[in-house]
Amino acid sequence: MKVLLASEYGFCFGVERAVDMVEDAVAAGETVRTLGPLIHNTQEMERLEGEGVATIDAPVQISRGETAVIRAHGVAPDVQAELEARASKVVDATCPFVTRVQRLTARAAAQDRDVVVVGSPDHPEMIGVKGYAPERAYIVRDASELASLPMLKDPLVVSQTTIKAQTFFDTADAVRAKTDGTVEVINTICSATRDRQDAARALSNMVGAFYIIGGKHSSNSLKLLAVCKENCEKSFLIETEDEIDPADLGGVETVGVTAGASTPQWLIDRVVKRLEAL
């Protein structure tokens, strides 16, 4: 059986960078604590826990002698300051694409302007961004949520990095009705999620079965599964190679493989190895 990998799969740039930064701190002998789970993948979290990396829920749980890690989603400035005050060292693994949203938001507020950020208000990335302009930033899921906002002063419109482009543009268009001033629109969506979906879709036309490796509750993995199923009925979301059922592969000559943005390479390698052995 031939195994084909999608042209884009697995760790995105920001997650890979964050995991590398944690690995470096562990290798340097530091006691590492991440604020919130570093990554939404059970197997990778277990591996990191095996290396002594623990997760904390609040800055108050960090002590002197420990290294605090800010994950790729980023945090609000007051949270960062608290970590810096408590920990011996802070490793800032905020994804540079998220840092850009934070900086743009802070800059617009400093210019006495309002900011509309299109995203989920309860997502950690958005909670962090809001902290850069608590009085001036409005987080809205879509255009319908603009109705409750006051009139805006020369608003900047930016986005959570992982939302749908259409939602962003529709909301940005609707912001014009909420201001007498100028609207500045900066698309801050990261292409990692879309690139993985496009690559999976292209490959799903060429295979008899498709394995998507990722957490059963990971939204980007579930989306990949839906995309693959459009063209390939035998598409399966699995967390490890143990879930591969050879009975599903009867008559299949070519199988496709992709992985969600939080799936580490070592898990992907194991799945590919198992499929090649079948």
Q: Centre a 10 Å sphere on the Cβ of residue 135 and count the other Cβ atoms it contains.
A: 6
Does position 12 bind ligand SF4 by CB under 6 A?
yes
Q: To the nearest whole angstrom, how small is the minimum distance from the Cβ of residue 263 to ligand SF4? A: 13
Q: To the nearest whole angstrom, how small is the minimum distance from the Cβ of residue 1 to ligand SF4? A: 31
Residue type, 175: V
Q: What is the CA radius of gyration of the chain?
A: 21
Does position 168 bind ligand SF4 by CB under 6 A?
no
- Judge whether 125 counts as a catalytic residue: yes
Per-residue tokens: 1: 């059986």
Per-residue tokens: 267: 């898990």
Is residue 231 within 8 A of residue 203, CB to CB? The reply is: no
Is residue 254 within 8 A of residue 266, CB to CB? The reply is: no
Does position 14 bind ligand SF4 by CB under 6 A?
yes
Q: To the nearest whole angstrom, how small is the minimum distance from the Cβ of residue 162 to ligand SF4? A: 6
Does position 15 bind ligand SF4 by CB under 6 A?
yes
Query: Is the Cα torsion angle 81, 82, 87, 91 positive or negative in sign?
Result: negative
To which residue do tokens 């990949």 refer?
Answer: 224
Question: For ligand SF4, which is the closer residue by CB, 90 or 98?
Answer: 98
DSSP state of 219: H
Question: For ligand SF4, which is the closer residue by CB, 184 or 195?
Answer: 195
Binding mask 34-73 for ligand SF4 (x = CB under 6 A): --------------------------------------x-
Give the Cα separation of 110 and 91 in Å (integer).
26
Q: To the nearest whole angstrom, how small is the minimum distance from the Cβ of residue 21 to ligand SF4? A: 13
Which residue of the set 8, 125, 239, 241 is catalytic? 125
Binding site for ligand SF4 (CB under 6 A): 12-15, 72, 95, 97-98, 161-162, 190, 192-193, 261
Task: Kindly list the catalytic residues.
Answer: 125
